[in-house]
Structures are given as structure tokens and as C-alpha cells.
Amino acid sequence: MATTDVTLQGAPGRLERKPVVNDMSIQVATVNGSGSQSSNTVLLRSIFQMGVPVSGKNLFPSNIAGLPTWYTIRANKDGYIARKKEIDFLIAMNAETAHEDVLSLAAGAAVLYDEPLSLNSLRNDLTFYAVPYDKLVAAVCPEAKLRKLVKNMIYVGVVARLLDLDMAEVEKALRKQFAKKLKAANLNMAAAQAGFDYAAANLKKQDPFRIVRMDKNLGKIIIDGNSAAALGCMFAGVTVVTWYPITPSSSLVETLIDYMKEHRIGPDGKATFAIVQAEDELAAIGMVIGAGWAGARSMTATAGPGISLMAEFAGLAYYTEVPGVIWDIQRVGPSTGLPTRTSQGDILSTAFLSHGDTKNILLIPNSVSECFEMATDAFNLAEQFQTIVFVMSDLDLGMNNWMSDPFKYPETPINRGKVLSKEDLERLGTFSRYKDVDGDGIGWRTLPGTDHPAAAYFARGSGHNEKSQYSERPDDFERNMERINRKFETARSFVPRPEVVSAGKSKIGIIAYGTSHWALVESRDQLKKEYNFEADYLRLRAYPFTREVHEFVEQHERVYVVEQNRDAQMLSLLKLDVRPELVTRLRSISHIHGLPLDARSVTDEIMTMEGK
């Protein structure tokens, strides 16, 4: 196979292209419901197993079968795993989108297509490879009804040949994918091999893209953010889980059910947890609050529409001071919006969810490992501060596969917060539920069922005094609300601190959070390499903002706040928090197209705003 001195097909006279090794974006265009997910995972894992940093992003429709779907695999030797705007290698399986997919490619890209689509006539500045999938699949799969599912595995073999992937790694990945189904594994392996053999015999390598073995993934795992969150919740000691199915959060609880059934059944065969599919999000959050009030570590997972429905109950929990954790796997709103696309659009709604004065703690993971770690943080903070804690993941993080170092066992003990036991009550004689005895705004609570005559208090969403008695007195109400606000101020010192990636090197600062981080890592390198432009960078990990955030804004003349929503939601929160004279330093870079943020867009926008 030609691996060097590759020339562009149909472009005589052009300069020979140097090989492009371990730096490419592969896009697979298929129809959803066609089983391509397995093929794509095998392809991703094969590259991963060859030690090359890789990420996979599924761009799918809100539909079960029949609509176009695109899966993008990015392999990058430098570890950039954000979405790359340009596609280098297109695998065109979907007749419906093939023309547009091909026309949108940049010159020099390669296209692998189903022979009958005859895409090679569309352009002359691309490399085309035709594969007769139907013919190949018929040979390896006698059962006609299975062919549709097996067909997609053929392109894995073809790509393996063209990109120089080790077929042994493909087989390993494939056998892992079909671990519980030997027959399916064999059938699919035959298909992959058929693709490989066909390519070896019939396709002449004409593109520059290659995968060469590296050692960057030693010991690493591949997992999606929702599964990582599920694991995190199990190790955080969650006991009550309620949910109502909603994309993109459903897989979090579904994975959690699997893990809990495996690892949280006691020696007596009984569950040390309860997982309930509720009738709607109202009931899901109601159960979380009922369980939290009665002392369980309770959680639910949802997305924007669910958050909207939970608003009233969130206020009840805020005001009666009941712990609970809500995972918000953000998707594009408003309304139904783009239910299968990613965003960071729920920042403001969650921060202030409910009527009256409410402020909620938000934790914002940027990676699968933070999904795991922040689960423990979230439950501990919820019980410490007796309030709802939101974990703000998103579809890109939650539903896509990410590489990661293995998760570290949580060393922080489970913190159940200020709970008075029967013995405490015997010593104290009495207690006042909402009295700030420690100066941190946090009162002591008791759990229903505590066997002491003084244990009970009357939790109520209506006005109450320190003893939790009904009160409409203005002074009682104001004092109580001020105390609850003190809890929020106290929380500033306990929430996860931001990651100050770079400080003191530039007058320009960038603030980003969550999955935007991965575009920022790459964008800052682009800015430096291409424009010799250095910018400091702080990655937010929580709301309320900690001291470091204020310092960062103070230290920079201009601060770009990068986020994936229309209305600069995090910037709005920062405006409310920083000193008034610093507000004008904040500049917004916001995108809301439903696609994961890419580095190039950020780089271009910063340079434009900097007048360069």
C-alpha cells in the first residue's frame, strides 16, 4: 500500500501531499437505526487501542430509524479532542445526504462511498474510494435480514486497510463490542475482514491520512459522561434515584440501574437502593425531596424541559432546606428545541430555578472524570448545605465517548451534613430547625423516624420561624431569607474551585466551562501558534463563584466568556457577581447551533474582537 508520495487524484500538477499521521477527522454518514453505532464504536476503539488520542461524537436526529445521522471520530496526536470543523475522511453510507456531505468537504478530503451512489463524479478535488457493500455483505452474511446490520461493519475493514489500522486491534475492539454475542461477533468480524480484503485487492491508497501506533492511551478507559456520572453516583452512596425518561439524560439512570444491580445488592439479596421511574418530572423531583427530607441520598437526572417542570418543587426544597441532586444533561432549548443536540443553555434557569428569591448551587463537569468526581461533591454539598445541587453536564459530554485516565476512588468520606441523632437530642433536650447556631447559615435537622419526643419539626413551604412554626411576621421572613442567603455565601468556600489553567501571562483572559473547555485547549494553542497571541484561561467548575474567579477578572483588561448558549448566560451571572466597575471587561463569545464547540470558531472570534 502506498504510504508516502501520495498525490491527489484528479488534480494533476498539484504538489505532492505529505502524509498526515494521527491527525484527522473521520465522519460516518449513515441512517439511524442501521446499526452503525456498533461499527463506529469499533472504529473508535481500534484507534484508541493503537494508542492515538481519539474522541467520538454522535450527531443524531430525534428519531428511532430512518433519518440521517453523522458520527465523527477525531484522532489527534496532540490530544485535541474537541469537534473539528473540517472533515478529512468521509464515509458516505446515506444516499439521502451523500451529495450535500460531499459538497461540504474541504479540498483534499477522502470519501469512501457505496458504489451505486457514484459520488466520484461530484468533485475532482477529493479522493474517492468506491465499495460495493451489497455484494460484499451478501457473500459473508447468508441471512438476508441481518445484512442491513452487518453491512456497516464492512467500512470498518476498508478504513482499517486505508488508514493502516492493525486488524488485530479491530478484532479485539469488535469482540469487546459483541462480548455477549459470539455469533454476532463472528459475523461482524467476517464483514470487517471482507472489507479489509476488498480494499487490499482493489483500492489504491491515494489520500495522505494514516494512523501510526503511539503510546498515549496506556491504562486509559473509554466511557461516556452519563455512564461516568452513574458510576460516580453509585460510589457517592446514592440510595434513592427517581427519573422520567428524557434525552439526553435517560442513559445516565439506565446505566446506573445496571451498575447498582451488580454492585449494590446486599448479602441478603436485597437492594440497598431504590430506583423509581416516575410519572413525570414533577413526581421525580417530588420523590427526590421526600427522600431527601427523610434522610436518603436522593437524585434525579433530566434535561431542560424537566428542569422547567421541576421549578416549583425546587423552590420548596430551597426554602424547606432539603438536600437532593439533579443532573441536568443539557440539550438545546427553548421548548422542545433540538432534543438530540448539545448546549449550555440551562445555566440561568437552574441558578435561579423557582419563584421568589432562590439561588442554587451548580457544579459543572468538563470531562468524564469530573462527572465521576462531582457526583460525590454534589451529594456531599447537598447534604452539607441542605439544598438542591445541580450538576450541569450536557449532551456532548453525557452521550459521547471520551477517553480518560481511570477514575480515582473517592477519598472524601460521605458527608451527611448536620443531622441530630436521638443521642444528640437527649443531650440537647431541644432544637430549632432553622436556627443558625454555627454562624454558617446552616441549621441542624432531624430525620423522620428519630426516636425522641423532641425530634419532630414541621417542614413547610409557607413562612416559618426558626422553630419551623408557621409565621407571617415580616421580621421572621426576612431573617430566615437572609440566613438562607448566608448558606449560599458559605458555599463559595466549599464548591469545587475553578481550574486556573493560565494566569499572569496576559492582559487578556478567557473564562469557559464544561465541554467548551476542549475547544479552548486547542484554540489557545492556535492563538499562540498562528497569531502569537497569549491569553490566560480560567475554567469555571461551580456556581456560586469562588474568590479565584473574581481575582481572575480583576487581573485582566478584557475577559472573554465562552459558552454554548445565545444569551451569554454565565456572563450574566458573572455580571451580577463581580464589582460593578469590572462588568465592562466581560465580553461574550456564545454559540447555539447544537454542535459541540470547535476551536477554530473561538479563535476566529477572539481575533476579530481583538481587531486582528
- What residues numbered 260-289 form the site for other proteins, per CB under 8 A? 263-264, 266, 268-276, 278-280, 282-289
CA 200 to the chain's CA centroid: 38
Residues of span 129-148 touching other proteins by CB under 8 A? none
**Residue written as grid cell 494521527:** 22
Q: Which of 141, 291, 388, 535 binds other proteins (CB under 8 A)?
A: 291
| DSSP summary character for residue 357 | S
- Are 381 and 494 in contact, with CB atoms under 8 Å apart? yes
Find all residues with CB under 8 Å of 255, minimum gap 6, and list them.
Answer: 226, 227, 230, 231
Q: Which of 297, 492, 517, 541 binds other proteins (CB under 8 A)?
A: 297
Residues of span 314-353 touching other proteins by CB under 8 A? 316, 320
Per CB under 8 A, which region of 51-59, 115-123, 227-235, 597-605 contacts other proteins? Answer: 227-235
Which residue number, 4 or 412, has a Cβ lying nearer to other proteins?
Answer: 412
Residues of span 454-493 touching other proteins by CB under 8 A? 455-462, 470
Contact status: 56 vs other proteins (CB under 8 A): no
Per CB under 8 A, which region of 68-76, 199-207, 217-225, 545-553 contacts other proteins? Answer: 217-225
Nearest to 441 by CA among 383, 410, 485: 485
- Smallest separation (angstroms) from other proteins to the CB of 312: 5
C-alpha distance from residue 291 to each of 199, 295, 579 (Å): 59, 6, 40
Which residue number, 43 or 190, has a Cβ lying nearer to other proteins?
Answer: 43
Q: Which residues of 165-190 are buried (b: 16+ CB within 10 A; e: fewer)?
A: bebebbbebbeebbeeeeebbebbbb
Contact status: 450 vs other proteins (CB under 8 A): yes
Which residue number, 258 or 604, has a Cβ lying nearer to other proteins?
Answer: 258
Which residue number, 309 or 392, has a Cβ lying nearer to other proteins?
Answer: 309
Phi-psi region of 455 (alpha: psi -120 to 50; beta: other; left: phi over 0): alpha
Residues of span 16-45 touching other proteins by CB under 8 A? none
Per CB under 8 A, which region of 122-130, 180-188, 327-335, 404-412 contacts other proteins? Answer: 404-412
Angle at 12 between CA 10 and CA 15, to 5 degrees: 115
Which residue number, 237 or 544, has a Cβ lying nearer to other proteins?
Answer: 237
Distance CA 529, CA 183 (A): 51
Q: Which of 239, 387, 588, 603 binds other proteins (CB under 8 A)?
A: 239
Query: Which residue type does 159 have?
Result: V
Per CB under 8 A, which region of 13-21, 130-138, 228-236, 578-586 contacts other proteins? Answer: 228-236
**What Rg value do the Cα atoms of the chain yield, rounded?**
27
Angle at 104 between CA 63 and CA 78, to 5 degrees: 90
Which residue number, 211 or 403, has a Cβ lying nearer to other proteins?
Answer: 403
- Smallest separation (angstroms) from other proteins to the CB of 476: 16
Distance CA 158, CA 163 (A): 9
Cα torsion 34, 38, 44, 47: sign: negative
Which residue number, 305 or 509, has a Cβ lying nearer to other proteins?
Answer: 305
- Smallest separation (angstroms) from other proteins to the CB of 460: 4
Contact status: 301 vs other proteins (CB under 8 A): no
* 382 phi/psi in degrees, rounded to 5: -60, -45
Distance CA 76, CA 460 (A): 55
- Smallest separation (angstroms) from other proteins to the CB of 451: 5
Cβ neighbours around 413 below 10 Å, total? 9
Contact status: 453 vs other proteins (CB under 8 A): yes
Which residue number, 220 or 566, has a Cβ lying nearer to other proteins?
Answer: 220
Cβ neighbours around 4 below 10 Å, total? 10
Contact status: 51 vs other proteins (CB under 8 A): no
Per CB under 8 A, which region of 89-97, 137-145, 452-460, 509-517 contacts other proteins? Answer: 452-460
Distance CA 230, CA 208 (A): 40
Count of chain residues binding other proteins (CB under 8 A): 74
Which residue number, 323 or 594, has a Cβ lying nearer to other proteins?
Answer: 323
- Smallest separation (angstroms) from other proteins to the CB of 193: 24
Nearest to 380 by CA among 424, 420, 324: 324
Would you call 596 exposed, middle or buried from its count of C-beta atoms within 10 A (0-12, 13-18, 19+)? buried
Gap between the terminal Cα atoms of the chain: 44
Distance CA 164, CA 147 (A): 26
C-alpha distance from residue 595 to each of 84, 118, 247, 334, 396 (Å): 11, 29, 16, 16, 8
Per CB under 8 A, which region of 64-72, 219-227, 328-336, 571-579 contacts other proteins? Answer: 219-227
- Smallest separation (angstroms) from other proteins to the CB of 282: 6
Which residue number, 296 or 301, has a Cβ lying nearer to other proteins?
Answer: 296
Q: Which of 103, 139, 294, 437 binds other proteins (CB under 8 A)?
A: 294
Contact status: 216 vs other proteins (CB under 8 A): no
Which residue number, 298 or 343, has a Cβ lying nearer to other proteins?
Answer: 298
Contact status: 542 vs other proteins (CB under 8 A): no
Q: Which of 242, 340, 343, 344 binds other proteins (CB under 8 A)?
A: 242
Contact status: 414 vs other proteins (CB under 8 A): yes
Contact status: 298 vs other proteins (CB under 8 A): yes
Residues of span 94-123 touching other proteins by CB under 8 A? none
